[in-house]
């Protein structure tokens, strides 16, 4: 059977692949499991391998990662030949096409229609269970722990949406909370360093609340981490204010959260935070913030003889105090 696996939840996707490859059987697992890189795999060899019967019975499992881009770039006849071959997969073959970079519009994949008709399309999304906090709760249980809702929200805020990052942090927290079995918010604050994106969000929120001390503190955190250049941080700040302008405009025009989410290309939890944050500013303040970001960009690129930290601090303080 052809199965198309796609989405940003690499943790669950890899677990599904491991489960399927285990079906090849213990004694012949090595010979009955074939792993290919879709970027370099020969399409005719892939077709031949998919038609081959397993050794000593059992199931033959073929795992191909990132095949979509290769198929789109392939000659029309080569692509058609592979599709024709895959329509005649023997019952003993499991062909797993894994696309971790295909997050939306799975129907754009060259094998989508075939998998949807003759096989199976399996989405793996971090927020597929309803929200990221619910995903964290499920995966914490799999690690033998529970995570308090406030702790899940804090972990999400600090680590972002990347499934691998979330799983890595969750494993660390579960080991730390081994004695009690419960991951608490204070555990997250103690063990998980906020991502740059999280700190930028908090920076802009502090600016909107007119709290210069907190805003400068968030800026210092970002600069101390040194994970982003000054220009990189400025770009993130500018992006945040551009999103807030879109959210503010949508809020004033009465657009729904679903429409706003599509326009921003953002999940609903983030849309809610952006809408809430946009209420802290007037539209004139948001537009002035973007102008100030452009002025700071000019200064950082040599337009002013000032250290980078001074340029960024002046930007944050000026926008915070108005």
pLDDT of 139 above 70:
yes
Mean residue pLDDT of the chain comes to 85
Q: Options 2.40.160.20, 1.10.8.60, 1.25.60.10, 3.40.1350.10; which CATH number does 132-191 get?
A: 1.10.8.60
Confidence at residue 27, expressed as pLDDT on a 0 to 100 scale: 44
Spell out the residues 6+ positions from residue 56 whose beta carbon is closer than 8 angstroms to its own: 25, 27, 28, 31
Question: Quick one: pLDDT band at residue 127, thresholds 50, 70, 90?
Answer: low
User: For the segment 246-275, what is each residue's pLDDT rounded down to a tens digit?
Assistant: 988 888 888 776 677 777 776 666 777 788
Closest CA relative to residue 238, chosen from 280, 288, 194, 311: 288
Q: Options 3.40.50.720, 3.40.50.11900, 3.40.50.300, 3.40.50.1820; which CATH number does 2-123 get?
A: 3.40.50.300
Domains 2-123 and 196-321 share a fold: no
Note the CATH number of domain 196-321.
1.20.272.10
User: For the segment 77-103, what is each residue's pLDDT rounded down to a tens digit?
Assistant: 888 988 988 888 888 888 999 998 888
Where are the domains positioned within the chain? 2-123, 132-191, 196-321
User: For the segment 182-240, what is each residue's pLDDT rounded down to a tens digit?
Assistant: 999 999 999 988 777 777 778 888 887 888 888 888 888 778 766 668 888 888 888 88
Confidence at residue 69, expressed as pLDDT on a 0 to 100 scale: 87
User: For the segment 35-79, what is each residue's pLDDT rounded down to a tens digit?
Assistant: 888 888 888 888 888 888 777 667 888 999 989 988 988 888 888
Question: Quick one: pLDDT band at residue 25, thresholds 50, 70, 90?
Answer: low
Lowest-confidence segment of 5-14, 138-147, 213-222, 287-296 by average pLDDT: 213-222
Whole-prediction pTM: 0.62
Residue range 107-120: mean pLDDT, rounded: 92
For 206, the token pair is 């502090």
């Amino acid at each position: 059977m052809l199965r198309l696996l796609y989405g940003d939840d690499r943790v669950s996707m890899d677990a599904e692949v491991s489960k399927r490859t285990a079906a090849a059987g213990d004694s012949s697992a090595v010979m009955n499991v074939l792993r290919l890189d879709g970027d370099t795999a020969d399409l005719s060899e892939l077709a031949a391998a998919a038609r081959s019967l397993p050794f000593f019975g059992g199931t033959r499992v073929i795992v191909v990662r990132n095949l979509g881009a290769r198929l789109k770039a392939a000659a029309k006849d080569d692509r058609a030949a592979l599709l024709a071959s895959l329509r005649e997969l023997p019952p003993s073959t499991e062909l797993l096409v894994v696309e971790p970079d295909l997050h939306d519009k799975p129907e754009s994949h060259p094998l989508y229609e075939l998998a949807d008709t003759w096989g199976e399309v399996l989405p793996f999304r971090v927020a597929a269970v309803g929200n990221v906090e619910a995903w964290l709760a499920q995966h914490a249980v799999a690690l033998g722990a529970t995570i308090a809702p406030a702790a899940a929200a804090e972990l999400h805020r600090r680590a972002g949406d990347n499934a691998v990052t979330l799983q890595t942090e969750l494993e660390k927290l579960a080991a730390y909370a081994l004695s009690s079995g419960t991951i608490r918010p204070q555990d997250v604050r103690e063990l998980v360093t906020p991502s740059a994106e999280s700190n930028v969000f908090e920076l802009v929120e502090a600016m909107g609340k007119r709290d210069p001390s907190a805003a400068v503190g968030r800026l210092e955190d970002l600069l101390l981490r040194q994970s982003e250049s000054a220009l990189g941080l400025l770009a993130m700040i500018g992006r945040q204010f551009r999103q807030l302008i879109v959210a503010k405009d949508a809020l004033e025009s009465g657009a729904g959260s679903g429409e706003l989410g599509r326009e921003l290309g953002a999940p609903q939890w983030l849309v809610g935070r952006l809408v809430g944050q946009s209420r802290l500013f007037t539209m004139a303040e948001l537009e002035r913030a973007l102008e100030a970001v452009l002025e700071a960009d000019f200064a950082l690129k040599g337009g002013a003889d000032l250290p980078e930290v001074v340029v960024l601090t002046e930007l944050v303080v000026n926008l915070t105090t108005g």
